[in-house]
Structure 1
Amino acid sequence: MHTAARVLTAAGLLASLGALGSGCLTRKVSGEPPSTKINYNTVIRQSAIDKIDLLFAIDNSSSMGDKQALFADAVPDLINRLLTPNCVRDADGSVVPPQNGQCAPGSKPEFTPVQDIHIGIVSSSIGSYGTNQCNPTAAGNAGKQLDDKGQLLTRADSSGTPKTQPFNFLSWLPDNVEANKDKKPIAGTTAYGRAGLTSDQLETDFKAMVKGVADHGCGYEGQLESVYRFLVQPDPWESYTLPGNEADSNARVKLNGVDKKILQQRANFLREDSLVAIIMLTDENENTIDPLALGAHAWLYESGYRVAGGTPACSDPSKGPNSAECFSCYQDNAKDLPCYQKGLPLEQDGANVRFFEPKRRFGYDARFPLERYTTGFSQTKVPDRRGEHTETDNPDVRSFNYVGNPNCTNPLFAKGSSLAEAAEKTDNPDALCNLARGPRSSDLIFYAIIGGVPWQMLTDQPTNLEDSNPGKFKDKLVEDDWRRILGADPARYDFTGINARMRESVAKRDGVADTGSFRDWDTKNDDLQYACVFNLAKERDCSLPENKDACDCARATDSPLCDRTVPTKQLKGKAYPTVSQLSVARTLRDQGIVASLCPKFSADSDKDKEDYGYRPAVRTIVNRLKDALSERCIPQPLEEQDDGTVPCLITELLPSGDQATACDPAKGLKQPEAGVLERYRKQQVAGNATPEELARPLCVISQLKGPELVNNSCVKSTKGGWCYVSREKVATEKCAQSIKFPEAFPPPNGALVNLQCIEQPPTAGGDAGP
């Protein structure tokens, strides 16, 4: 019954192979004839990742101070877990904390302690493109941090002076561990773990950096865009100009130059072979614009002026924002339609709520499309400024439509030497674009959002929104969770299945219950309803001058954040639905991580509790990273054939050698069929491989079976090859299922090993998977 899978050739298996990289097993492989569609495709690593680059994107708008303080409290948990991992018992695979930094006999660390870490911070403030709303030089804005440009920043509070110069990131690189014996700190930097700079000092200084971000930033938050500018944009602009007067609605924004500081910071912070984790802390949706959208007039949406609405179809229930008849009244084809050309009525367009459901309200979304960020955090090719927008008659303006033509190597996937060279060639667009491809694969890039979603919805009891919910936090969400959080397709305004708390709205929402600790309120059309609230560790008197820019109860309202008897006393913090950031995590699937900005416990008296503050968030993040830091587990079981093999193919791109002679049968290697090799080379070209990489030989690794195995595993085999091992057959395995290689024939250092498995239809009555 399994002969079809056994005789499938390697060429047939790869006949429909897409881009080489990570993937996820969407359904079990059955014993039926294969469809030859690849549905699991991933890189197999034999050595643990020994370095991490942590980029924190911290919202610095008003009211974020309380969340930053809570996050600073979680810093020790994060640092300690990376430096001293939990222990895994050999007998049953259970996880226990270490004792005095050591694992007890009969257990081992869940992953190799990480002894090479870079830690950097970007804020959410990137200005407002020439308007006065977030202009650092405008009257009344002195002392605020309104435009951090997407650069790494160090604004320490009074508790510490972090040693981050000259590139504004912390480096942990102790010299007393074997893994670092040949490593030296980045030139000019000071490495913690040396010269008396202990892990305790690293924690203290990291806390100071977190608190130093402060909450005096731009109210038009650009959390995703700041990260993109720092990590991904091949040619981040240095400055912008808005010629003429802000009151002149015909003025067009122009982007100037290339930010050399970002390129230099990026080249030193980002290692080509590290695990990259983006950790975002924010209480509000993405609110920054694409400056060249709407004919380079998108700045109007971040000005203090009212903006034009959409055509009548946008708010017509029978048509709606997805219809072709819905567009902005600014656009030429709207001139003969009944439109709000001079701006929506004030009650429909409060400046504080400008960016919620913009297509429905304005007929136009002036922000970058979310695909920009999902592509930037996962794909090897991205656009530079030349590939982002459609052409216009004006050669200085590439505007109206964001097309995102992926014409450049993504810096996240570039060689370190190439990033360093680019930092010195800011006047050469081709040098910034054509970076040499490095070894990083997309499964080593993680994106975590600690944002606006009720903590209860992230537990194993997600429909219980009471404060007393006893559920356990989950490390990973399933599709039912996502539908409750975002609906079916929020980008197209399909909110089927969404929980009412996650809808962006100025009005009270149907389905939101008054639980005593949470309720909707009369926003006066000038604020959004909240996704969640939490108790402040210390109440805040909003009548005091020092709190006027960081308080939610400065005016008398019925907000659930404020004391009912003393309306200017703030008792609770809040988070709005962070729809954009959560949508990115949803699209990134296995690489996306979600936690709540509203903690279950936040009082000082609760600091010893397991779920205090952002401990659940840190726990979830590290639990998701640890698979990449340790032996690679396959997320779902593969269906074994009668002889114990699975319908998968493993290829090995060797570091060097000649294609005709490099595949040594004594090591379990054989020449790939012509179709396999051709397909692989095409994917290398698509990934901007260098001539040297295209010359590397590709081999197929033999799958071992039967008498070639020892105790149902090939680890002790005397033949070269690979095998599929499950805990069902080998009880001591840490992974429920994994790919193994003989200890005597491991893939050589520098080899790229890739696993592809075919999808087959489910057996009768079987589970087809999600």
Structure 2
Amino acid sequence: MEYTGGGQRRTPMHTAARVLTAAGLLASLGALGSGCLTRKVSGEPPTTKINYTQVIRQSAIDKIDLLFAIDNSTSMGDKQALFAEAVPDLINRLLTPNCLRDSDGAVVAPTSGGCPPNTKPEFTPVQDIHIGIVSSSIGSYGTVQCDPAVPGKQNDDKGRLLVRATAGSSPKTQPFNFLSWLPTVEANKDKKPIDGTTAYGRTGDVARERDLLENDFKAMVTGTADHGCGYEGQLESVYRFLIQPDPWESYSLPGGENNRDAVVSLNGIDKVILQQRANFLREDSLVAVVMLTDENENTIDPLALQAHSWLYESGSQVAGGTPACSDPAKGPNSQECFSCYQDGAKGTPCYQKPLDRELDGFNVRFFEPKRRFGYDPRFPIERYTTGFTQAKVPDRRGEHPDNSFNYVGNPNCTNPLFAKASSLADAAANPDNPDKLCNLTKSDRSSDLIFYAIIGGVPWQMLTDKPDDLNDNNPGVFKDKLNDDDWRRILGQDPLRYNFDGINPRMRESIAKREGVTGTDWRDWDTKNDDLQYACVFPLKAPRDCTKPENKDACDCARPTDSPLCDATTKTTQTKGKAYPTVSQLSVARTLRDQGIVASLCPREITNTDSADYGYRPAVRTIVNRLKDALSERCIPQPLEEEADGTVPCLITELLPSGDQATACDPAKGLEQPEAGVLDRYRKQQQANNATPDELARPLCVIKQLKGADLVNNSCVKSNKGGWCYVSREKVPTEKCAQSIKFPELDTLRPPNGALVSLQCIEQPPSAGADAGP
């Protein structure tokens, strides 16, 4: 859902909402936690409902952990090179933010000396950054398709941080395979590099170190190369590195592909990942995953189909689905649609009968698998959205309990993304202790500090304010956020359940020509059922002769076809790059809403290097524009209805770092003892999040809302009273946010470091006929 800013008309709060006690408010809201605005529907009766929840941080985020998931399958080399050119834009924007004019908030370019007079930086420059790369290659579980032993190939990078820098570069990545930016500036005076690492910026010449960081990062991006597995596991590589509580070290397939009854086993614990994770991931950082890929997620859940799912990555044809799967009247969502490998298909003509090669090309093995095979052997998308947002996830025991046929995903372990650094280090030091791996201590990280960006297969035009104009001369402006209509064009109603209502035909995965896709340069072609149609194409900087040996494994025109990527005359010369619809990755971004970011792998501008839209500059710009809200003062995404005295129906609680519940809530600091219901609900939520006894003993207070004479110029920032207030730009024109929560600036009145402050508000739907907003 896209959050709205100021200016929306709100109906008055119902009387019942005005007299809610803290306990009553919390009872209406449910347990404390993260959430989002509920969509308002015109004409609803005036009943109180949950509107908004947020964790409020009392100090700016001063560190970022950036994980780049780079597709290293064939044909990705040109995209990696373009992304490397955008690296300086990314580094410069984080280290030297844009400036905002005090009078109207307009963007002003920074100078060599910082922000000009009467401006301020859009966020505090980030002076503590970790940068790591994982590839899309995670092997094929004992089959021949992505054998790690094949010379010259990089088929299994195991989901570990990797360094394959181009020649002439020696990035400072040892021993944990990530870059660290930690210059000797005032903001870092109390920090030191992770033990064993060498950080950039530690010498006196910070500017030179900054250039070195950029160049070494660029070398790592292009060094990822395009010799990897064609069954890409982009999402799974990220999950394995950041989230999987017990990442496996190796796999085995007894007898190999010749034994059709063989089952995959996942063996041991990957100690390398545990150690890399413990050093790369900080508990108080902003985590951003940036994925660069031109193809859909194409790797299996190895334990699915009772550990027989390796068949779908084998070099043999696989069985199809029951007739209902392709029956228009029933379809893949029908209960009668299932795999002909399953017992229910016994006695039918399809039972374990492989499809013909022309119906089951290896290059399109994962195209609409439920419709074609009656079974999708990949992990469900919910695995990844849960991993990015929830405090608990399954380990291997919870993924397929009792050898289940399908993925179950019982969340029995603490998510490493939401764990304390000390607990991650303890797990790395004790990899053979299942309790250490599973029962990590939860940190205070909230899901709004985790972002996922996909630079993938979607036309750039569809990401502008003119999404229906798919011409190359579309004058539209790129949007930082997509609304529901945008998503419907990109994915349809529910592509994972084959409901494509509203989708633009260019975003349909298809081996056949798609109705409605026309044009000379951007057209569908005869794939011979062995390739997919493209989401978008773009001109290469220079033509590529696919007959040359060095281009053998990185060319789309090795054999003459009518593909729009190939020169019309010399059909073995490639003139364009491409991206397929990246349905799975885009579906994750759609589900994550405000934490999901989308950019196109097909650039708008490829020749004018000075253009703001050259290469992946728009992608980097969109990513930082979305991260900056978390790096700066946090705004409330929607205006709240104020009472006559300026208060709003919100409850703010503060979990103190230490103290006794009976005495810790100091009225002089605006703290009050919570009512019994508030405290009880909070403790239950802590227990659900696997809190330790020490965390459960931390005192909880309710923070008083300030009003009237306690405010100074409609704000409590200059107040000498403890508490909080709601401030809108309507009343304070110089505010950056259209609406926000403020605290007094006096250190003695602000929540102390280590406190966890949570805001929850309620709101009324508009009256009948009112504008419900986007």
TM-score by length of 2: 0.96
Q: Is the 1:74–1:614 Cα contact (8 Å) retained in structure 2?
A: yes
Where in structure 2 are the equivalents of 1:140-179 lying within 5 Å?
Answer: 141-175=150-184, 177-179=185-187
Residue 31 of structure 1: how far off its partner (Å):
14
CA distance in 1, matches of 2:340, 2:728: 60
Q: Is the 1:5–1:34 Cα contact (8 Å) retained in structure 2?
A: no
Q: Is the 1:411–1:435 Cα contact (8 Å) retained in structure 2?
A: yes
Where in structure 2 are the equivalents of 1:201-600 lying within 5 Å?
Answer: 201-339=212-350, 341-391=352-402, 398-514=403-519, 516-600=520-604
- Give the 3-state SS of the residue equivalent to 2:597 in structure 1: strand
Percent identity of the aligned residues?
A: 81
Paired residue type of 1:755: L
CA distance in 1, matches of 2:47, 2:354: 55
- Give the 3-state SS of the residue equivalent to 1:581 in structure 2: helix
Instruction: Output one character per residue of 1:341-400: Cα deviation in whole Å (capped at 9) or x when no partner.
Output: 321122111000000110000000000011000000110000001101131xxxxxx341
Aligned to 2:9: none
Paired residue type of 1:714: C
Aligned to 1:79: 91
Paired residue type of 1:766: A
- Give the 3-state SS of the residue equivalent to 1:491 in structure 2: helix
Alpha carbons of structure 1 residues 18 and 71: separation in structure 2 relative to 1, 3 Å: farther
Alpha carbons of structure 1 residues 19 and 66: separation in structure 2 relative to 1, 3 Å: farther
Aligned to 1:182: 190
Q: Is the 2:31–2:681 Cα contact (8 Å) retained in structure 1?
A: no
Point out the more displaced range, 97-106 or 266-275.
97-106
Would you say 1:38 and 2:50 are equivalent positions? yes
**Alignment partner for residue 753 of structure 1, among 750, 753, 757?**
757
CA distance in 2, matches of 1:100, 1:50: 22
Aligned to 1:194: 202
Q: Is the 2:364–2:532 Cα contact (8 Å) retained in structure 1?
A: yes
CA distance in 2, matches of 1:363, 1:19: 40
CA distance in 2, matches of 1:513, 1:101: 52
- Give the 3-state SS of the residue equivalent to 1:402 in structure 2: coil
**Alignment partner for residue 117 of structure 1, among 115, 118, 129?**
129
Q: Is the 2:193–2:199 Cα contact (8 Å) retained in structure 1?
A: yes
CA distance in 1, matches of 2:555, 2:129: 36
CA distance in 2, matches of 1:551, 1:211: 17
Residue 37 of structure 1: how far off its partner (Å):
3.1
**Alignment partner for residue 715 of structure 2, among 696, 713, 726?**
713
RMSD: 1.5
Aligned to 2:5: none
TM-score by length of 1: 0.97
Residue 538 of structure 1: how far off its partner (Å):
1.1
Paired residue type of 1:542: C
Paired residue type of 1:102: G
Alpha carbons of structure 1 residues 722 and 34: separation in structure 2 relative to 1, 3 Å: farther
Q: Is the 2:143–2:256 Cα contact (8 Å) retained in structure 1?
A: no
Residue 439 of structure 1: how far off its partner (Å):
1.7
- Give the 3-state SS of the residue equivalent to 1:400 in structure 2: coil
Q: Is the 1:390–1:400 Cα contact (8 Å) retained in structure 2?
A: no
Alpha carbons of structure 1 residues 160 and 101: separation in structure 2 relative to 1, 3 Å: farther
CA distance in 1, matches of 2:94, 2:643: 39
CA distance in 2, matches of 1:517, 1:190: 48
CA distance in 2, matches of 1:78, 1:159: 23
Residue 33 of structure 1: how far off its partner (Å):
8.3
Alpha carbons of structure 1 residues 755 and 29: separation in structure 2 relative to 1, 3 Å: farther
Any unmatched runs of 5+ in structure 2?
A: 1-11
Paired residue type of 1:231: L
Q: Is the 2:589–2:596 Cα contact (8 Å) retained in structure 1?
A: yes
Q: Is the 1:48–1:112 Cα contact (8 Å) retained in structure 2?
A: yes
The aligned length equals: 757
Aligned to 1:672: 674
Paired residue type of 2:165: A
Q: Is the 2:37–2:50 Cα contact (8 Å) retained in structure 1?
A: no
Alpha carbons of structure 1 residues 477 and 732: separation in structure 2 relative to 1, 3 Å: same
Paired residue type of 1:114: V
Aligned to 1:59: 71
Aligned to 1:395: none
CA distance in 1, matches of 2:32, 2:454: 26
- Give the 3-state SS of the residue equivalent to 1:15 in structure 2: helix
Aligned to 2:637: 635
CA distance in 1, matches of 2:648, 2:303: 51
Aligned to 1:689: 691
Residue 739 of structure 1: how far off its partner (Å):
0.4
CA distance in 1, matches of 2:123, 2:234: 31
Q: Is the 1:384–1:433 Cα contact (8 Å) retained in structure 2?
A: yes
Residue 10 of structure 1: how far off its partner (Å):
1.0
